[in-house]
Structure formats: structure tokens, C-alpha cells
């Protein structure tokens, strides 16, 4: 008997600008419809264009028909830019957490509780900075956040901009000792595992994979990462955490992963 799960995804959409350098919000919507996730954390939403007189967040909200949270960090003229979260579940509560480390770029996280098919799930979705010193401080802030009001199951996801030996830093905020090496960047020929999903406790994440299709390779500079999470604790199941995909990507040194 298959245990019930829900699907989560993390996707850096690069302001909906694809590898053809064209801004195409409809293409991102089509990728997300391929995935059919119950919860999607997005990074780099907005900042480039209006479509049907709407900013990107509003366009995605309308066409995905999901409950949503906007967490803009920046405003460039008329355009907001930052993180977002979409879910088919009920958003019970949410807060936006400032992770900015001066003098670096403004950064943040979404911390929310969502009810999915009778189960309450905590989600922390984020996009960390570009510099190691910055990321260390941001991980410390997320650790303090997770220690507040712990939940039965928490999903942590986002673009962490962490690879190589630095990935051990993520254990401080609940990542498993052996993180699956799932390469998501750059989308056309992914070399680095920048995008991550894990659960606390770790055994609630049943399956995880990179969503690699012709459409997702074109829609953004990152590929989406997708996980299936157990609704309730289960025993006797063997997690499928990052088995090699076919076709295999270009071989790269371990310190890039």
C-alpha cells in the first residue's frame, strides 16, 4: 500500500527570463503545471515586465489558481522582486523574515503554516546570498527561526547558493548528513546543486528529483527541484533521495555539488 504524500517544489524562475533571453511568464506556468505541486516556493519573482497589466506575482497567482504569499525584497521602479509561495492548501499563518546582511543585497524567507488534506505543515522557503560570510549569518538566523514553534513536519526549501564542502553548513538547519546531489544550475547543462529541499524530520521526504524537461530547460536559468513528502509518519518505506537521473549530466568535481 502506497503511503499518502504531498508534492513540494522549489523554483528560481529568474524573473521568467529563459535561456533564449525572452521574458515569458506563461512558460513558467506551463512548467509548474507539468509538476503539479501542492506547495511551490519561488525565487526571483518579478522585476522585469508587465503582462496583461499585471506584475509577475499577480499573473502567476491568477493563472495557477493557488493561495499565495508575496515576499518582495526589492522594488525597481514599478516592479517588485523577491520570493513567493503558492499552495493548493489553506494558509493558516505566515510571516516574512528579514535575512539581509548589510552591505549585501536584501534577502528574506517565508515562514508559514499550511493545512493540506487535514495535515498541518510548516514551510520555510528562502533564497540565500552570494557570499559565504553572508550565508553563514543567514543560516544562523534560519536556525533561530526553526527553534521557535517547532512543527510535526517542516519543509525547508529554496535556492541556497551553496555547493561543495560548504553544503555541510546546511546541517545546522536540519539538512540530512548526506544531501542528494541533484544539479539544477545552469538549466541547459546543470553542474551545481544550488536548489534544495529537505524535511524535518528527514525521513518524511520520500522522493526527490530534478524536473528536467525540454520546457523547464528553456524557461529559466535554474531547473525546478521537486519532492514528495509523507503526510504522516510511515515505516517500512525506502526513501528515494536523489538516485542518478538518465541521461546523466556532465561529470563534475564533487566540490561543485
pLDDT digits (tens, 9 = 90+) for 47-104: 665 554 458 898 999 999 999 999 887 766 667 789 999 999 999 999 999 999 999 9
pTM of the model: 0.89
Cell of 142: 534560519
65 CB burial (10 A radius; 0-12, 13-18, 19+)? exposed
Rounded to a whole number, what is the largest CA-CA distance in the chain?
54
- Specify whether the CB–CB gap between 140 and 110 falls below 8 A: no
Q: 114-149 pLDDT, tens per residue?
A: 999 999 999 999 999 999 999 999 999 999 999 998
- Cα–Cα dist 122/75, whole Å: 28
Q: Provide the residue ranges of all domains of the chain, joining segments of one domain with +.
A: 5-256
- Specify whether the CB–CB gap between 162 and 190 falls below 8 A: no
The enclosing H or E element of 26 equals helix 25-35
pLDDT score, position 53: 45
Question: Is the predicted pLDDT of residue 252 greater than 70, yes or no?
Answer: no
Across the beta sheet with 205-210, the strand order is: 67-76, 79-87, 39-46, 5-12, 225-230, 205-210, 240-241
Question: Is the Cα torsion angle 206, 141, 223, 255 positive or negative in sign?
Answer: negative
SS3 at position 107 = coil
- Cα–Cα dist 238/3, whole Å: 11
- Specify whether the CB–CB gap between 69 and 75 falls below 8 A: no
C-alpha separations of 22 from 18, 47, 78, 86, 245 in Å: 6, 14, 19, 24, 28
- Cα–Cα dist 157/87, whole Å: 14
Q: Which fold has domain 5-256?
A: Deoxyribonuclease I; Chain A (3.60.10)
Q: 153-183 pLDDT, tens per residue?
A: 999 999 999 999 999 999 999 999 999 889 9
Amino acid at each position: 500500500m502506497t503511503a499518502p504524500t504531498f508534492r513540494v517544489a522549489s523554483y528560481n524562475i529568474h524573473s521568467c527570463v529563459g535561456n533564449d533571453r525572452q521574458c515569458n511568464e506563461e512558460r513558467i506556468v506551463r512548467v509548474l503545471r507539468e509538476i503539479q505541486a501542492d506547495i511551490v516556493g519561488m525565487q526571483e519573482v518579478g522585476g522585469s515586465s508587465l503582462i496583461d497589466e499585471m506584475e509577475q506575482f499577480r499573473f502567476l497567482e491568477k493563472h495557477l489558481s493557488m493561495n499565495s504569499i508575496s515576499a518582495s525584497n526589492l522594488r525597481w521602479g514599478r516592479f517588485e522582486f523577491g520570493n513567493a509561495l503558492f499552495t493548493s492548501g489553506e494558509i493558516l499563518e505566515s510571516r516574512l523574515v528579514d535575512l539581509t546582511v548589510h552591505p549585501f543585497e536584501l534577502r528574506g524567507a517565508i515562514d508559514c503554516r499550511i493545512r493540506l488534506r487535514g495535515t498541518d505543515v510548516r514551510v520555510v522557503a528562502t533564497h540565500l546570498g552570494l557570499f559565504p560570510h553572508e550565508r553563514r549569518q543567514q543560516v544562523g538566523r534560519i536556525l533561530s527561526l526553526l527553534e521557535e514553534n517547532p512543527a510535526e513536519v517542516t519543509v525547508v526549501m529554496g535556492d541556497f547558493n551553496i555547493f561543495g564542502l560548504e553544503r555541510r553548513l546546511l546541517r545546522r538547519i536540519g539538512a540530512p548528513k548526506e544531501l542528494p546531489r541533484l544539479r539544477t544550475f545552469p538549466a541547459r547543462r546543470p553542474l551545481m546543486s544550488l536548489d534544495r529541499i529537505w524535511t524535518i524530520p528527514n525521513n518524511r521526504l520520500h522522493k526527490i528529483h530534478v524536473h528536467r524537461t525540454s520546457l523547464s530547460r528553456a524557461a529559466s536559468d535554474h531547473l525546478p527541484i521537486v519532492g514528495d513528502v509523507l503526510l504522516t509518519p510511515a515505516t517500512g518505506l525506502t526513501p528515494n533521495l536523489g538516485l542518478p537521473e538518465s541521461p546523466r549530466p556532465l561529470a563534475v568535481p564533487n566540490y561543485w555539488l
